[in-house]
């Protein structure tokens, strides 16, 4: 990775983790990440689509 790529990826990762941490449910952050990766409906719910 050269140039601004590391900074861009870091910013996207922090944003995604912030969105997941703001979800109010009983699951851990790791389970939310996994569930969002597998279930498009859950991801849409998180992103308010």
pLDDT at 7: 93
DSSP letters for 1-49: --TTHHHHHHHHHHHHHHHHHT--SSS-HHHHHHHHHH-HHHHHHHHT-
Residue 49 has what pLDDT?
Answer: 72
Query: What pLDDT does 33 receive?
Result: 95
Query: How confident is the model over 1-49, as pLDDT tens digits?
Result: 568 999 999 999 999 999 999 999 899 999 999 999 999 999 999 998 7
Using CB atoms within 10 Å of the CB of residue 24, give its burial: 0 to 12 exposed, 13 to 18 middle, 19+ buried: exposed
Q: CB under 8 Å to 37, separation ≥6 — which residues? A: 43
What predicted TM-score, i.e. pTM, was given to this entire model? Answer: 0.74
């Amino acid at each position: 990775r050269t140039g601004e790529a590391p900074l861009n990826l870091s910013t996207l990762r922090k944003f995604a983790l912030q969105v997941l941490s703001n979800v109010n449910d009983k699951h851990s952050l790791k389970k939310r990440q996994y569930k969002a990766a597998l279930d498009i409906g859950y991801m849409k719910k998180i992103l308010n689509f």
